């Protein structure tokens, strides 16, 4: 059995992959999900169910819209200021990693950004908590989980400014209070579905204030009015996302998966802290439950350890090049048995290297 600790794209349960592959061959009357028209009642039912499941699983209140868009989270870096930042005003950003800084870079085309705090000088190993958000900011942008560095924001600041959050790598992994946010976006390819679709949850009344003419494809309002069917949507990605959302619901929803995610992360961090060969790279209170970054006290053992785990069925453990060491991505679909398998391997390796 393979144990996939890779950071993506698209780590989903085997049963979802099986259902998806069946729908490629025969979705309805011998037709593939890839070939039926997106204007059929069958596909409209798919997008309607996917939208309903996002609303249900995230407990989205009245007054918000759920969209399935394209362009990945990276397009949201630009769509957010284009739609929400009026000329002459500035938007506040928290800089907690490469993705946050890419989001900041995109603001310059539309207006000014104000970086309220940054952990860059410490290679993004913590999430800054001591900062002020100016009341006149158009919005405050943050990244809830920093996929590359393994830090996560477990609390949002108290502010009257609308909070915009990139939740690409921790959406649906833990319960959140959507009413605290003006806009949430997530590239689908971690806990939602295949790459190619981006989920946006937006509070309707924050839209329409930019004073800017927005191209149709980049205008949230256009997509809301069209029910995410303004143009040809990424039908397969949306279909597989729907299957995965059904799977999550059948597991007991976000509250249940959160318990499992806490158990998985606790087990692995406990071993990293206990085992004399390993150490975590991030400040303990900000440790991510989705991407667990760690290194070895003796860097010379890193290659042999990686070889050892790969020979024993572990995939994707190599850390991101900007952090080094290892990154265990333990998204919703990764079973706790895989985490226990990795822990066993860490212990076996430590027995072979007692000093």
Q: Contact with ligand PLP (CB under 6 A): which of 93, 99, 124, 349?
A: 99
Window 44-83: contact mask with ligand PLP (x via CB under 6 A): ----------------------------xxx---------
Window 162-201: contact mask with ligand PLP (x via CB under 6 A): ----x-xx-----------------x--------------
Give yes or no: 204 in active site.
no
Residue in 223, 84, 96 with CA at minimum distance from that of residue 167? 96
Give yes or no: 190 in active site.
yes
Q: Which is nearer to ligand PLP, 92 or 169 (CB)?
A: 169
Q: Which is nearer to ligand PLP, 99 or 278 (CB)?
A: 99
Distance of CA 29 to the CA centre of its chain: 35
Task: Using CB atoms within 10 Å of the CB of residue 101, give its burial: 0 to 12 exposed, 13 to 18 middle, 19+ buried.
Answer: middle
Residue in 144, 132, 139 with CA at minimum distance from that of residue 168? 144
Residue 177 known to bind ligand: no
User: What is the smallest separation between the CB atom of 91 and ligand PLP, expressed in angstroms?
Assistant: 17
Give yes or no: 209 in active site.
no
Q: Are 203 and 67 in contact (CB under 8 A)?
A: no
Q: Are 73 and 197 in contact (CB under 8 A)?
A: no
User: How far is residue 69's CA from residue 195's CA, in Å, rounded to a whole number?
Assistant: 11
Q: Contact with ligand PLP (CB under 6 A): which of 83, 113, 143, 338?
A: 143
User: What is the smallest separation between the CB atom of 196 and ligand PLP, expressed in angstroms?
Assistant: 9
Task: Using CB atoms within 10 Å of the CB of residue 24, give its burial: 0 to 12 exposed, 13 to 18 middle, 19+ buried.
Answer: middle
Angle between helices 253-274 and 235-250 (to 10 degrees): 80
DSSP 201: E
State how far the alpha carbon of 347 is from the alpha carbons of 216, 227, 274, 330, in Å: 55, 51, 10, 19
User: What is the smallest separation between the CB atom of 68 and ligand PLP, expressed in angstroms?
Assistant: 13
> Site size for ligand PLP, by CB under 6 A?
10
User: How far is residue 67's CA from residue 54's CA, in Å, rounded to a whole number?
Assistant: 10
DSSP 87: T
Catalytic residue among 190, 203, 264, 318: 190
Q: Which is nearer to ligand PLP, 55 or 102 (CB)?
A: 102
User: What is the smallest separation between the CB atom of 14 and ligand PLP, expressed in angstroms?
Assistant: 22
**Residues contributing to the site for ligand PLP (CB under 6 A):** 72-74, 99, 143, 147, 166, 168-169, 187
Annotated binding site for L-glutamate: 39
Catalytic machinery residues: 99, 166, 190
Q: Which residues are annotated as a binding site for pyridoxal 5'-phosphate?
A: 73-74, 99, 147, 166, 189, 231-232
Residues placed in the known binding site: 39, 73-74, 99, 147, 166, 189, 231-232
């Amino acid at each position: 059995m393979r144990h996939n600790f890779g950071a993506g794209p698209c780590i989903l349960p085997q049963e979802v992959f099986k259902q998806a592959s069946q729908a490629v061959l025969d979705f309805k009357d011998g037709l593939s999900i890839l070939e039926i028209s997106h204007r059929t009642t069958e596909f409209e039912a798919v997008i309607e169910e996917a939208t309903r499941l996002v609303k249900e699983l995230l407990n989205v209140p009245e007054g918000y819209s759920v969209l399935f868009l394209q362009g990945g989270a990276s397009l949201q870096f630009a769509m957010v200021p284009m739609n929400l930042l009026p000329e002459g005003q500035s938007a506040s950003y928290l800089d907690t990693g490469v993705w946050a800084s890419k989001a900041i870079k995109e603001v310059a085309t539309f207006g000014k950004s104000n970086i309220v705090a940054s952990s860059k000088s410490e290679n993004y190993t913590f999430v800054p908590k001591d900062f002020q958000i100016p009341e006149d900011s158009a919005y405050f942008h943050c990244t809830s989980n920093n996929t590359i560095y393994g830090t996560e924001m477990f609390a949002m600041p108290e502010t009257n400014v609308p909070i915009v959050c990139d939740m690409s790598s921790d959406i649906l992994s833990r319960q959140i209070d959507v009413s605290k946010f003006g806009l949430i976006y997530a590239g689908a390819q971690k806990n939602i579905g295949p790459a190619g679709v981006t989920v946006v949850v937006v509070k309707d009344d924050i839209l329409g204030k930019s004073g800017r003419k927005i191209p149709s494809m980049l205008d949230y309002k256009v997509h809301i009015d069209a029910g995410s069917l303004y143009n040809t949507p990424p039908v397969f990605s949306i279909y597989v996302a729907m299957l995965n959302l059904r799977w999550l619901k059948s597991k007991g929803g976000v509250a249940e998966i959160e318990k499992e995610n806490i158990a998985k992360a606790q087990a692995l961090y406990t071993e990293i802290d206990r085992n004399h060969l390993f150490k975590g790279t991030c400040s303990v209170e900000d440790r991510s439950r989705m991407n667990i970054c760690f290194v070895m006290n003796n860097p010379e053992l890193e290659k042999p350890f990686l070889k050892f785990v790969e020979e024993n069925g572990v995939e994707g453990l190599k850390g991101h090049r900007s952090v080094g060491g290892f990154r265990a991505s333990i998204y919703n679909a990764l079973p706790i048995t895989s985490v226990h398998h990795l822990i066993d391997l860490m212990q076996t390796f430590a027995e072979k290297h007692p000093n």
